[in-house]
């Protein structure tokens, strides 16, 4: 199976899951985007790593992992999102020490947070993009990783945005869900689309 490289397009607040955010990954050279629901801590950690001007007063967990790895000459070479089961993404860290590679299982949110810190590429398989990717043509959009983006606003939004209750889709028909999914994609509400997609997959 062929690997497709992914880039972080942004992080949005989750309207479908209490205390969560949606990490939006976009395929390189294509229009498909992969929304992945992650926790608030991981969202903040990723945002801080992307914004070079912001440095927490004490190391975050992912910063500690990087310092520990560097002290022992371990490098994260790449991250592969290799499996999707019941709406949950599974990832692996490809690490190297003394020219020997090791594969380490990791939560996708942690894997991405480390990939940003190690400047490691992120990949997934074509079949995962086929199953969970959302097709959307993007024009003139500003990415979170753009160095001109206001880092203070990003962190403030991650910390202070009010949380809404998780939407209950169990009473909706498949036709209604498909309509909602299309509307969410058209409105670029990717975390809402991810929640609807997961409900359709469960059925």
Res 145 pLDDT > 60: no
User: And the tokens for 59?
Assistant: 């190391």
Give the residue extent of every domain in the chain: 3-135, 168-202
Closest among 10, 11, 14, 28 to 184, alpha carbons compared = 14
The residue that leads in pLDDT, 184 or 127, is 127
pLDDT score at 12: 80
Query: What pTM did the predictor assign?
Result: 0.68
14 falls in which pLDDT band (50, 70, 90)? low
The token pair that represents 4 in the structure block: 């497709």
Residues 81-102: tens digit of each pLDDT: 999 998 889 999 999 999 999 9
Which residues sit opposite 122 in a β-bridge? 6, 79
What is the distance between the alpha carbons of residues 192 and 148, in angstroms, rounded to a whole number? 27
Top CATH class of 3-135 equals alpha beta
At residue 178, the pLDDT reads: 84
d(CA 65, CA 7): 22
Residue from 159, 192, 39 nearest 109 by CA: 39
Measure the CA–CA gap between 97 and 99, rounded to whole angstroms: 5
């Amino acid at each position: 199976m062929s690997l497709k490289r992914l880039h972080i397009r942004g992080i949005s607040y989750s309207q479908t899951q209490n205390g969560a955010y949606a990490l939006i990954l976009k395929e390189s050279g294509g229009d498909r985007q992969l929304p992945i629901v992650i926790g608030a801590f991981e969202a903040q950690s990723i945002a801080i790593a992307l914004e070079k001007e912001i440095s927490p007063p004490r190391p975050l967990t992912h910063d500690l992992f990087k310092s520990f790895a560097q002290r022992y000459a371990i490098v994260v070479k790449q991250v592969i999102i290799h499996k999707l089961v019941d709406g949950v993404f599974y990832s692996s860290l490809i690490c190297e020490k003394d020219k020997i590679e090791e594969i380490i299982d990791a939560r996708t949110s942690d894997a991405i947070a480390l990939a940003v810190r190690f400047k490691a590429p992120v990949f997934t398989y074509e079949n995962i993009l086929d199953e969970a990717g959302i097709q959307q043509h993007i024009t003139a959009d500003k990415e979170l990783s753009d160095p001109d983006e206001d880092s203070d606003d990003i962190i403030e939004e991650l910390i202070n945005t009010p949380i809404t209750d998780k939407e209950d889709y169990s009473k909706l028909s498949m036709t209604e869900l498909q309509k909602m999914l299309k509307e969410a994609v058209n409105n670029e509400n990717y975390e809402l689309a991810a929640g609807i997609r997961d409900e359709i997959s469960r059925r």
